[in-house]
Chains A and B, each alone.
Chain A
Amino acid sequence: MSAVWVTVAAVGLATFAIRAAGPLLLAERTPPPRAQAALEHLAPALLAALVVTQALGGDNGGFSIDARLAGLAAGAAALLLRAPLLVVITVAAVTAALVRLVT
C-alpha cells in the first residue's frame, strides 16, 4: 500500500474512533450532576477556542494576524446590531475579501 492510502486509512480510522468515543462512553448513562454541569459548559469553552484559533491561527501553529481578524470584527459588529446568522457570516467574509483586495 502506498503512503497515500496508509494515511487515508489511518487518519480515517483514528478520526472515526475519536468521534465515536464520547457517544459510546456516555451511552445511556446520566453523568453525576457536577459532571453534567461541566459538560454543559464544554460548548462555550470550545466555541470560544474555535473563534480564537480560526481567527488567529497560523498554518503551522502560532499566530497569523491577517484579514480574518477584520472580518471577525465586522461580524461582531453585525451581531451587536442583532443581524441574523447569514448576515453575520456574509459581512465577515465580504470584509475579509475587501481587506485582502486593498492590501
Chain B
Amino acid sequence: MKRLTDTHPPGPGRPTYLDGVRAAAPIGVAALAFGVSFGVLARSAGMGRVAPILMSATTFAGSAQFAAVSILGAGGGLVTAIVAAVLLNLRYGPIGLSAATTFEGPWWWRVITAQLIVDESWAIAQRDDGRLDRHLLVGAGLLLLVCWTLGTAVGVFAGDLIADPESLGLDAAFPALFLALLWPQVRERSRLLAALGGAAIALALMPFTGPGIPIVAASLACLVGARRTP
C-alpha cells in the first residue's frame, strides 16, 4: 500500500501486523455494517442464530454468503445456493495464486493463513511492485474477520441497530478502495495493460455470466506480463 509504506522506509521499517490492522480499519467499518445486514437477512431467511455466525467465521466471504442465504430464503433450493456461492468464491483461486509466494512456514500454516485472504485484505497488502506484504494481509484479514463475524452476531441477535449500509454509501467504499490500491501499480505500462485487459474482460462478461465468473476470467489478462520477459 503506497501511502502506508511511504511512512515506513524500505528495509528495517517493514509493515507489521498492526499496520495491516490500521490500514483495514476504515474498510472494517463497512465490513461491520454489512455483517449486521447479513445477520438480519440470515435471520429472516430462517437460518437461526448459530449457523449465520459460524458461516461468517468460516466462509468469510460477503458476496457468496449474501447470495447463498438469499437463495435459501427465497426457496431457491440447496444446490442452487451452494453453486452460486462457490462460483462467487472461485475468484479466490487466482487471487490465492497471486498471493501464494507471500506465505511462509510449513504447508499447513500457509493453508491456515491463506484463509485470511478476502478481496479487501489482499488489496490492502498490495505493494507497488505487484507483490504482496504478508504482514499487511494477515493484519487486515484478521481485523476484517472479526468485524464481519461480530457484525453478523449483532445482526442475528439485535437486528438492524445500524442504518442500512447502502444508505450510508458504504457499498461505494469497496470499488474506491480497489481503485486506490490499483492506482500506484499502473504507472508501469505492462501493468496498466493488464488492468485495462482485466476490466475489459469483466465488463464484456458481466451481462452474460452469473456474478463471480467475470472476475475469474479477468485473471487471464495477467498473460500480458508473460509476453514481455527478459
Contacts and interface: CB of A to CB of B under 8 A. Distances in A.
Interface residues of A, number: 77
Interface residues on chain B, size class: 35 or more
Interface stretch (B11-19, B143-151, B152-160, B218-226): B218-226
A102 interface: no
Interface string A64-103: 0001101110011001000011101111111111111100
Contact of A67 (B100, B172, B190, B219): B172
Interface in B174-230: 174-183, 185-186, 190-192, 194-199, 201-203, 206-207, 209-211, 214-215, 218-226, 228-230
Contacts of A67: 169, 172
Contacts of B48: 4
Contacts of B162: none
Given A23-B114, A48-B202, A100-B167, A89 B27 contact: yes
Contacts of A38: 222-223, 225-226
A81 to B, nearest CB: 12
A67 B167 CA distance: 10
A91 B91 CA distance: 28
